[in-house]
Amino acid sequence: MRKRIFALMAFVSLSLACVVGCKSDADDGVGEKPRPSTEDSFYFRNGAKHTIHMVERDDRVVFLDGVSDNFTFTDNAGTGLTIVQGTVSTTLNIRANTQGTYEIVIADTKEGVERKATLIVEVAPRDTGWRDGVYTIKDIDGDKTEANSNDYVDVEYPDGYQYDSSSLSSEASTRITVSSQAGNIVRVTAKNHYDSSAPLEFKLKHKTDASKAPLTVKVKRVTKFWNYSSQYLYVFLIRIM
């Protein structure tokens, strides 16, 4: 019985000693348990690496946990990212411009020793709606039947292309209006109602390379039962009187 009691006491003493003095696997080496890094924060440790994920045109504020106000950074992003130190001194404001993988090396000095860690930013392309060279518009709500709806759809297209007005058939031109906008945008506006099995189509051709296949925009449906111009309203009233 005494042997069992002594063995139990020894086990408890050893366990308490380990709790007080042992360093866990999660310890960062100085007795402090690291905090998790997330998509919005990076726990700074010498030699650490952490990856965040963004999409083109995303903006992100990343909190740097464990650095001083005097940290510096360098990067290999070029124009792929726009990076500035935030108004909160231990943050980085990051804007994703183009697809790619970029590294931001963060440096900080503690007790005269420089420490460095790397924040990796993976930028994925935006989904602009194109599928194998085809952009499909399911419906243009020309009657604005829903709150905040427009009677047009803006289609963003890749660099180097332009709207080919000759590709819009005479039938399609009575149903929709197509106009080029600034910034690689073509606007498709509802003109008259259309609902048929064959979609309306027009194309975008490459400006300089004729060997590149044109892009196709398809419009499946145009909801446009009402025309609010005074002329059409007058005709409508005459017909129902």
The 10s digit of each residue's pLDDT in 2-51 is: 545 444 444 444 444 444 444 334 444 444 566 789 999 999 999 999 99
For residue 87, what pLDDT is reported? 87
Structural domains in the chain plus CATH codes: 30-124 (2.60.40.10), 134-231 (2.60.40)
C-alpha closest to that of 83 among 126, 24, 123, 38: 123
Report the range of poorest mean pLDDT among 47-61, 117-131, 142-156: 142-156
Looking at per-residue pLDDT, the higher value among 110 and 214 belongs to: 214
For residue 227, what pLDDT is reported? 66
For residue 12, what pLDDT is reported? 43
pTM for this model (two decimals): 0.66
CA distances in angstroms from 117 to 10, 30, 103, 206, 237, listed in the order given = 43, 17, 10, 44, 73
The 10s digit of each residue's pLDDT in 45-83 is: 999 999 999 999 999 999 999 999 999 999 999 999 999
Please give the Cα distance from 162 to 180 (Å, whole number): 8
Q: Average of pLDDT values for 186-203?
A: 96
For residue 54, what pLDDT is reported? 98
Q: Average of pLDDT values for 132-150?
A: 93
For residue 148, what pLDDT is reported? 84
What confidence tier does 159 reach under pLDDT thresholds 50, 70, 90? very high
For residue 16, what pLDDT is reported? 43
For residue 34, what pLDDT is reported? 66
For residue 229, what pLDDT is reported? 52
* Contacts of 54 by beta carbon, 8 Å cutoff, 6+ apart: 60, 94, 96, 121, 122, 123, 124
- pLDDT score of 240 more than 90: no
- pLDDT score of 91 more than 70: yes
- pLDDT score of 233 more than 60: no
- pLDDT score of 158 more than 60: yes
